[in-house]
């Protein structure tokens, strides 16, 4: 049995109340050949002291202080100081399943390079889990069970930031943590997709994902919806857009308007359709809105769908199926 070193990359900032549980879940892993590169990103509580005490007792823990500002700088510093053949990331407020490292590594050893090992996640919170997070958990896990994560990559981040592992060479090929683009976990997922690293199916819960009101993804401006839309459009234009085919936006809500505005700024022409009778025939940003049946008049379009309602999405998907249009080629759900 191979026994390669796994580097666990973990930034932290003011997570004193959660860090002990996190680190204990790492030190109790059934797979023992790991190093934890853990970086303080400017904590003002007792987090650094707490981790320092762990590091004094556990030589596999390497504690660093961020010499830059923000999570991307912290991740870059951690990776620079890592030496493992396999790379994974852990959030400082979460908990690993005891066999998480072993299961992810075994998947990679069986499948080889150009694969990403992922696992199911489970949210937990003292305050209870919202319906939104519960839906996201189900959606994400359904994709992971079949390894079809990329099939809906333009909706949300399809690989949980603290529950993946891949070979160091592949991580470097995907440009590691180098791009200064937020949300950094979503950007990394798109780069895995770009390089066609296959997601290995998994049906086991490997990660306990903590939710609380002051969590960074809830409060920091870099995780606001406009950043998500920017990243989606950036990678769509780079990876899936065919300049020989006309773009059609389906939906005239806030997201549809933001996509339209961005395309106008990039001087990329598009058509705009919607189901809202009050908007059909009107102009927004000097662009006329048409009924969705107008799509039949557009030759070989690529459609960006910005309609969020689940039932409406099902109806739209049925419409595309009827017209023999294929997901991730002819149409892309952006929400």
Distance CA(279)–CA(289), nearest Å, equals 7
Question: What's the CATH superfamily of 241-333?
Answer: NAD(P)-binding Rossmann-like Domain (3.40.50.720)
Task: Report phi then psi at 314, rounded to 5.
Answer: -65, -40
For residue 319, give the H/E element and its range.
Answer: helix 310-322
Q: What is the pLDDT of residue 213?
A: 72
What pLDDT score does 226 carry?
Answer: 76
Given this model, what pLDDT does residue 227 score?
A: 85
Residue 334's pLDDT is what?
Answer: 96
Mean pLDDT score, 243-258: 97
Per this entry, what is the length of the chain?
A: 335
What CA–CA distances, in Å, run from 276 to 93, 215, 251?
A: 43, 36, 8
**Bond into 301 cis (ω within 30):** no
Average pLDDT, the chain: 95
Q: Looking at residue 225, what is its pLDDT?
A: 61
What are the residues whose beta carbons fall under 8 Å from the beta carbon of 105, sequence distance 6 or more? 4, 6, 31, 86, 117, 165
Query: No. of H helices and E strands in the chain?
Result: 11, 17
The larger pLDDT score, comparing residue 237 to residue 131, is at 237
User: Parallel, antiparallel, or unpaired for β 205-210 and 120-124?
Assistant: parallel
Domain boundaries, the chain: 6-223, 241-333
pLDDT of residue 222: 45
First to last CA, the chain: 43
- What sign results for the dihedral spanned by CA atoms 201, 162, 205, 97? positive
pLDDT of residue 1: 56
Mean pLDDT of 292-304: 96
pTM: 0.94
Instruction: Tell me: pLDDT of 50 over 50.
Output: yes
pLDDT digits (tens, 9 = 90+) for 153-168: 999 999 999 999 999 9
Per-residue pLDDT for 138 more than 70? yes
List pLDDT tens digits, range 73-115. 999 999 999 999 999 999 999 999 999 999 999 999 999 999 9
So what's the pLDDT on residue 214? 66
Q: Above pLDDT 90, what percent of the chain?
A: 92
Residue holding tokens 């306990």?
Answer: 208
**Could you report the per-residue pLDDT of 168-182, keeping only the tens digit for each?**
999 999 999 999 999
Q: Is the pLDDT of residue 219 over 60?
A: no
**Rounded Cα–Cα distance for residues 260 and 270 (Å):** 8
Smallest CA-to-CA distance from 99 within 170, 36, 25 is with: 25
Report d(CA 7, CA 24) in Å as an integer. 16
Please, which pLDDT band fits residue 145 given cuts at 50, 70 and 90?
very high
| Class (C level, CATH) for 6-223 | alpha beta
Report the C-alpha gap between 98 and 118 in whole angstroms.
15
Question: Would you list the DSSP string of 281-306?
Answer: T-EETTEE-EEGGGGGGSSS-EEEE-
Q: What mean pLDDT comes out for the span 233-252?
A: 98
Q: What is the pLDDT of residue 285?
A: 98
pLDDT at position 129: 82
Question: Cα(227)–Cα(233) distance, rounded to whole angstroms?
Answer: 10
Distance CA 295, CA 277 (A): 16
Is the per-residue pLDDT at 218 higher than 60?
no
Quote the pLDDT of residue 2: 83
């Amino acid at each position: 049995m191979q026994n390669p070193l796994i580097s666990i990359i973990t930034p932290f900032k003011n997570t004193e109340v959660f860090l002990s549980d996190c680190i204990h879940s790492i030190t109790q892993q059934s797979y023992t050949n790991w190093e934890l590169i853990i970086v303080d990103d400017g904590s003002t509580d007792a987090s650094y002291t707490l981790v320092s005490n762990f590091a004094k007792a556990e030589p596999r823990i390497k504690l660093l202080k961020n010499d830059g500002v923000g999570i991307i700088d912290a991740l870059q510093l951690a990776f620079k100081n890592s030496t493992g053949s396999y790379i994974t990331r852990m959030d400082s407020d979460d908990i690993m399943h005891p066999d998480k490292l072993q299961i992810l590594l075994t998947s990679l050893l069986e499948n080889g390079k150009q694969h990403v090992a992922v696992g199911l996640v489970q949210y937990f919170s003292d305050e209870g889990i919202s319906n939104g997070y519960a839906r996201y958990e189900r959606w994400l896990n359904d994709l992971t069970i079949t390894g079809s994560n990329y099939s809906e990559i333009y909706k949300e981040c399809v690989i949980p930031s603290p529950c993946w592992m891949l070979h160091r060479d592949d991580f470097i090929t995907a440009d590691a943590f180098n791009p200064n683009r937020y949300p950094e976990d979503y950007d990394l997922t798109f780069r895995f997709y770009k390089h066609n690293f296959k997601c290995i199916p998994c049906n086991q819960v490997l990660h306990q994902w903590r939710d609380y009101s002051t969590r960074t993804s809830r409060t920091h401006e870099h995780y606001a919806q406009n950043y998500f839309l920017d990243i989606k459009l950036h990678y769509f234009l780079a990876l899936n857009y065919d300049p020989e085919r006309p773009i059609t936006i389906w939906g005239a809500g806030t997201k549809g308007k933001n996509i339209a505005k961005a395309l106008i700024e990039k001087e990329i022409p598009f058509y705009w359709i919607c189901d809202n009778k009050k908007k059909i025939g009107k102009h927004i940003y000097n662009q006329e809105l048409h009924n969705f049946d107008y799509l039949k008049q557009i030759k070989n379009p690529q459609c960006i769908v910005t309609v969020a309602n689940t039932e409406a999405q099902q109806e739209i998907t049925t419409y595309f199926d009827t017209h023999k249009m294929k997901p991730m080629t002819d149409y892309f759900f952006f929400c």
